Structure 1
Amino acid sequence: MAVVDLQLLVQTILYFCIFLSGFAISIPVGVNTIKFDGMCILYADFTKGDGISKFRMQSSRRANCNFPVYMSVFACIFYGLGLGCYNAYAVWKSRANQSFGSAMWIMPFILINSTLFVMLLINGCMVSVGYKVFCDQLKEYSDIFRCGDGKNIKWINTVTSNTFTTGDYASLLTVAQIASWIACLLFLLQVSLGTLRFYRNRRLRQSSSDRERIGNVEPTA
């Protein structure tokens, strides 16, 4: 039975988990924006209403919702799929050559994964804090006790005067929050494993060099 590089296999699985987490972030945030008639509720601002409505919600900047969507698509879905396939190929090659992993580029991916970890940390904070700001103000200006109860409110777009239903936005954003922090953790694990492989490969190369020097020394009489 062929033996594969275990660390490469773990990193491959993690990359495909990152790939899946991208969908769990982008789809809920995107669907939520559509459900709210194109308005972004992350960091949305509330004011007291007139005699017709209890409150008015002003959409925050679209960038507050676009950033998590685009970040998850490019950093998780595209990047995770690409690196997952690359590492899967490396795992397959390592069945025949256990030293294949030591020949792979390591440092560029450590730097990229470190950068993406920071970006996804920002992304997780934006989703979690933005949703909390929305919930706190919604409960303050309405009669609901739980943020998710807002799905029973009749919402009106003050710009277009269109009425709409929001659906279960609480569940959607809960999924997005969990997936954001999971993706952040996965990238942190990738940085740690990449660093471990970098030092392991350096020790292997050093050991190989030492053996070559010992082999080249001629015995003296």
Structure 2
Amino acid sequence: MGMGNILLLSQVIAFLVSFLGSFFIFIPVSINLQEFDGHCLLGAKGTWNFSSGNVMLMDIKWGLHSDCGFSIFIGIVAMILSVFFIVWQSVNLFKNTDSSWVDAFVTCVICIIMCLLLFICSLILSVGYHRWCKTLTGYNSPFSRCEETEMNEFIIDSNIYTRNMFSELNMAQFGAWLCWICWLVLSVLSLIKVYQYHKKEAFLSSMNRERQRLLQSVGHRDPMVL
């Protein structure tokens, strides 16, 4: 297997992992939004108060809905792009062909952009979850760790279901960072492929110049005198 096929196979594998990882982003966040009645937990704050003999979280200031919306959007985009590139690169791999320089350059740009967007998405999920977790384990809280909230109801609202919150947000973080690593690898592989095309073009240009020089040298040679 040539170097080009190894790069192509590596890209297909990375896109496949990204495709699987994308489901861990938008599905848990979407379910969490539904279970919390459309409220986004990322960066949410509140205070613990005694109510009917129980300690409940009150005066909640929910996180920005755009944070959850952005995470869902990036997850769906990563899934769609991964499917597209899996099919396209698999066809090239099966036919033992490769993309053109323009295709490789466009792929490189897309990979770099997605890498940056997924990094932002991962930070939003991780930082937002950390702030929410800090609220859950803060002053007057009955919980010392976020994991303890997994099977407890601590919000007075019949439309809010909190029991799967910890698992959902951790899955979303896992999926986001996994996809970011995949697209980071894809960015590096794409840059290598573009560099190879550039190196090949430079080599062909050098060979063409040498050929033209030799032809000109032969064409201007003085005739032999007998």
Give the partner amino acid of 1:153: N
- The runs of 5 or more residues in structure 2 that have no matched partner are none
> Using the alignment, how far apart are the partners of 2:3 and 2:204 within structure 1?
22
C-alpha deviation, 1:50, in angstroms: 5.9
> What TM-score do you get using the length of structure 2 for normalisation?
0.83
* Structure 1 partner of 2:135: 137
For residues 3 and 11 of structure 1, the distance between their equivalents in structure 2, rounded to whole angstroms, comes to 12
Q: Point out the more displaced range, 120-129 or 8-17.
A: 8-17
Structure 2 residue identity aligned to 1:117: C
The alignment-based identity, stated in percent, is 23
- Residue 136 of structure 1 deviates from its aligned partner by 0.8
Shift of 1:70: 0.8
Moved more, 209-218 or 170-179: 209-218
Which amino acid in structure 2 is aligned with residue 33 of structure 1? L
Question: Map of 1:12-51 to 2, 5 A cutoff?
Answer: 12-49=12-49, 51=51
Q: What's the CA shift string for 1:101-140, capped at 9, x where partnerless?
A: 4555222222222122111111001101111111111111
Q: Structure 1 pair 103/119, CA: closer, same or farther in 2 (3 Å)?
A: closer
Specify the SS of the correspondent of 2:16. Answer: helix
User: Which of 103, 125, 128 pairs up with 2:126?
Assistant: 128
Deviations 1:68-105 (A, max 9, x none): 0111101x111111122111122123x2x5xx345552
Q: Higher mean Cα deviation, 64-73 or 140-149?
A: 140-149
Instruction: Supply the AA of the counterpart residue of 1:142.
Output: S
Contact 2:153 2:163 in 1 (8 A): no
Q: Which residue of 2 aligns with 1:194?
A: 190
- Distance in 1, Cα, partners of 2:110 & 2:2: 31
* Cα distance in 1 between the residues matched to 2:169 and 2:81: 23
Deviation per CA, 1:11-65: give whole Å up to 9, x if none. Answer: 1211122111111111111112222232211111112436445321332221121
Aligned to 1:86: 88
Normalised TM-score (structure 1) = 0.84
Q: 8 Å contact 1:156–1:163 — kept in the other structure?
A: no
- Please name the residue that 2:10 is paired with: 10
2:26–2:75: 8 Å Cα contact kept in structure 1?
yes
Task: Specify which of 108, 117, 135 is matched with residue 119 of structure 1.
Answer: 117
8 A contact 1:151–1:165 mirrored in 2: no
| Aligned counterparts of 1:171 and 1:204: Cα–Cα separation in 2 | 49
For 1:38 and 1:129, locate their aligned partners in 2 and report how far apart those are by CA, in whole Å: 20
Please say if residues 5 and 101 of structure 1, whose CA atoms lie closer than 8 Å, have aligned partners that are also in contact.
no
Which has a greater percent of strand?
A: 2
Q: CA deviation at 1:183?
A: 1.0
Secondary structure class of the residue paired with 1:67: helix
Question: 2:70 maps to which residue?
Answer: 67
CA drift at 1:195: 1.0
- Shift in Å, 1:66: 1.1
User: Structure 1 residues 119-128 or 57-66, which shifts more?
Assistant: 57-66
Amino acid in structure 1 at the alignment position of 2:64: R
Alignment deviations for residues 189-212 of structure 1 (CA, whole Å, 9 cap, x no partner): 111111111111111122233334
Provide the rounded CA distance (Å) in 1 between the counterparts of 2:127 and 2:196: 39
Between 1:1-10 and 1:202-211, the stretch displaced more is 1-10
